[in-house]
């Protein structure tokens, strides 16, 4: 395994229109898990676990930039879309991670 191979990993999200959205995978600095970032509707960045989860609470709703929204069964385009879990929920070091994101947001404001 090379550093380059790691850097080129992508999450593929199949689109209703055919084809797939590809988002670069990164690694959680706290626990090393594979994650990707998507923008929230509020303008923040949310880390999502790179593997789709059937019961995940989030779907990617826009491609440029990748934008995440809470899964809503009442929205037709959400049903059948790949669902993801927030890495906030999965990360063993979530407390510290959340603090760091909050600091970053404050600095950008
Ligand atoms: Zn983590």
What's the DSSP call for residue 64? Answer: T
- Please name every residue paired with 21 in a beta bridge, in sequence order, or none if there are none: 13
Q: Could you tell me which residue, 19 or 42, shows the higher pLDDT?
A: 42
Structural domain range at position 17: 5-108
What is the maximum alpha-carbon separation in the chain? 44
Query: How far away, in angstroms, is 29 Cα from ligand 1 center?
Result: 7
Q: Which residues surround ligand 1, an ion (CB under 5 A)?
A: 28, 30-31, 33, 91
Q: Could you tell me which residue, 45 or 6, shows the higher pLDDT?
A: 45
Q: Are 59 and 45 in contact (CB under 8 A)?
A: no
pLDDT of residue 102: 64
- Prediction pTM value: 0.73
Q: Could you tell me which residue, 47 or 16, shows the higher pLDDT?
A: 47
Averaged pLDDT for residues 45-64: 90
pLDDT of residue 63: 74
Query: How far away, in angstroms, is 14 Cα from ligand 1 center?
Result: 25
Domain count, the chain: 1
pLDDT of residue 45: 92
């Amino acid at each position: 395994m090379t550093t380059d191979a790691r850097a080129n990993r992508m999450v593929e999200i199949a689109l209703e229109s055919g084809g797939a959205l590809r988002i670069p995978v990164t690694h959680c600095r706290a626990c090393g898990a594979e994650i990707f970032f998507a923008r929230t509707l509020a303008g923040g960045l949310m880390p999502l676990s790179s593997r789709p989860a059937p019961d995940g609470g989030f779907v990617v709703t826009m491609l440029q930039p990748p934008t995440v929204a809470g899964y809503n069964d009442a929205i037709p385009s959400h049903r059948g879309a790949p669902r993801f879990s927030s890495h906030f929920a999965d990360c063993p070091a979530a407390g510290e991670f959340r603090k760091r994101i909050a600091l970053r947001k404050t600095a950008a404001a």
